[in-house]
Amino acid sequence: MSETMKPKISIVDYGLCNLYNVSNALEHIGANITIIDKPHDIEKASHIILPGVGAFKNGMRGLNLRELVQPLKEHIEKNRPFLGICLGMQMMLSKSYEFGEIEGLDIIDGDVEKIPKINSSNITHKIPHIGWNKVIINENVRNHHLLTGQDDKSSMYFVHSYRVNCNNKDNIMATTNYNDVNITAIINKNNAYGCQFHPEKSGKYGLNILKQFVKS
């Protein structure tokens, strides 16, 4: 595939991104990568990926300092493809309670809270949630194009201490279970998607997510 034929994917750099792993995964599946960090770059972008690790507050600060919040929201409002990964997914929500109440991008109505340390049976578990977990796809979206290639064996790699709560359950495409604690794994609104796991570290199933996003 020539460089001109490769789909162009823009990755947002706001100071809290694992650009290397995400870029490598996208190049592996045949995408043309551009790293962007300015408002006018977002205005011109076709497909945008917002990765990230760390605290919600620091993530939103990084976006605000670079004046990227409004351009990102406008990109999504125009129904252009958008994918948030890990912290990038969490920032799609209305607000977070990590280190106080912090406003998010408000793409999807809901909030972000710390994963409970104890389940309903009073069994404790380690936080952060780190490792491979099976992804449970909601039946009503099983045929969605983003989920092409996923099956009952789909397992993804998670690293996080907080989870998202969507007020509209129709925004939830898939969940995972951590010691009987329900965690939202994939969210969606129109052409905007979020993955709590790291698709770039999740083998063939994670790469399939990225492949389908590139095609959207």
Distances (CA, A) of 180 to 7, 106, 156: 40, 28, 17
Structural contact between residues 11 and 22, judged by C-beta atoms closer than 8 angstroms: yes
Catalytic residue among 75, 129, 160, 198: 198
Cβ partners under 8 Å of residue 44, min gap 6: none
Which residue of the set 17, 86, 166, 195 is catalytic?
A: 86
Q: Which of 8, 109, 12 is nearest to 69 (CA)?
A: 12
What are the E-state strand segments in the chain?
A: 8-12, 32-36, 47-50, 82-85, 93-96, 102-103, 108-114, 129-134, 136-137, 155-160, 162-166, 172-178, 181-189, 192-195
Dig out the tokens for 182 from the structure.
């329900």
- 86 carries an active-site annotation: yes
Q: Is 129 annotated in the active site?
A: no
Helix 69-77 vs helix 56-65: crossing angle, to nearest 10: 90
How is residue 199 annotated by DSSP?
Answer: G
Q: For residue 156, which of 136, 179, 128 has the smallest C-alpha distance?
A: 136
Question: Which residues carry out catalysis?
Answer: 86, 198, 200
